[in-house]
Amino acid sequence: MYKKTKIFILILVVALGSFSFTDSYFEIAKNLDIFTTVYRELNNFYVDETDPGKLMKTAIDEMLKSLDPYTNYIPESEIEDFKFMTTGQYGGIGAMITKRDNFVYISEPYEGFPAQKSGLMAGDKILKIDGVDAKGKTTEEVSKVLKGQPNTEVQLLIERPYTNESFEVSFKRQKISVKSVPYFAYLEEGIGYLKLRSFTRDCSKDVKNAIVDLQSDGDLNGLILDLRNNPGGLLNESVDIVNLFVKKGQEVVSTRGKIDSWDKTYKANKEPLNLDVPLIVLINQSSASASEIVSGAVQDLDRGVVIGQRSYGKGLVQQTRKLSYNSQLKLTVAKYYIPSGRCIQALDYSNRNKDGSVGKVPDSLMTAFKTKNGRIVFDGGGIKPDIEVEEEEVSNLIFSLLRERLIFDYATLYRHQNESLLFESTACISEEGFGLFTEFLADKSYDYKTETEKAFENLKKKSEKESYYDLIKEEYDLLFSEFELNKKNDLNRNQETIKEILSGEIVSRYSFQEGRIKNSLNFDPDVKKALEILSDPSLYKEILTK
pLDDT band at 247 (very low <50, low <70, confident <90, very high): very high
Per the annotation, the verdict on 166 as an active-site residue is: no
Lowest mean pLDDT among 206-220, 256-270, 504-518: 256-270
pLDDT band at 466 (very low <50, low <70, confident <90, very high): confident
pLDDT tens-digit series, residues 483-519: 666 667 889 899 999 999 999 999 999 999 999 999 9
Quote the distance between the C-alpha of residue 430 and its chain's center.
32
CA 373 – CA 368 distance, rounded (Å): 14
> Which pLDDT does position 484 carry in this prediction?
66
> Which pLDDT does position 188 carry in this prediction?
95
Per the annotation, the verdict on 314 as an active-site residue is: yes
427 vs 85, higher pLDDT? 427
- Catalytic one among 300, 409, 524, 526? 300
pLDDT band at 111 (very low <50, low <70, confident <90, very high): very high
What percent of the chain has pLDDT above 90? Answer: 63
pLDDT tens-digit series, residues 118-139: 999 999 999 999 999 999 999 9
What percent of the chain has pLDDT above 70? Answer: 95
> Which pLDDT does position 471 carry in this prediction?
82
The residues, any chain, with a CB within 8 Å of residue 401's CB and separated by 6 or more, are 407, 441, 446, 498
Q: Is the pLDDT at 16 greater than 50, yes or no?
A: no
CA atoms within 13 A on the CB side of 541: 4
Q: In 301-450, where does DSSP find H-type helix?
A: 396-403, 406-417, 431-441
Per the annotation, the verdict on 300 as an active-site residue is: yes
- Catalytic one among 204, 287, 289, 295? 289
Q: Rounded mean pLDDT of 243-263?
A: 94
3-state secondary structure of 202: coil
Q: Is the dihedral of CA 57, 58, 64, 69 positive or negative?
A: positive
First to last CA, the chain: 61
- Catalytic one among 125, 137, 195, 314? 314
> Which pLDDT does position 87 carry in this prediction?
75
184 vs 31, higher pLDDT? 184
Q: Rounded mean pLDDT of 240-259?
A: 96
pLDDT band at 10 (very low <50, low <70, confident <90, very high): very low
Q: Rounded mean pLDDT of 99-125?
A: 95
Q: What is the average pLDDT score of the chain?
A: 89
Lowest mean pLDDT among 32-36, 77-81, 483-487: 483-487
pLDDT tens-digit series, residues 411-463: 999 999 999 999 999 999 999 999 999 999 989 888 877 777 788 778 878 88
CA 74 – CA 80 distance, rounded (Å): 10
pLDDT band at 12 (very low <50, low <70, confident <90, very high): very low
Helix, strand and coil percent figures for the chain, each rounded to 5: 45, 20, 35
Q: Is the pLDDT at 19 greater than 70, yes or no?
A: no
Q: Is the pLDDT at 157 greater than 90, yes or no?
A: yes
Q: Rounded mean pLDDT of 526-536?
A: 97
Q: Is the pLDDT at 301 greater than 60, yes or no?
A: yes
Quote the distance between the C-alpha of residue 131 and its chain's center.
35
113 vs 56, higher pLDDT? 113
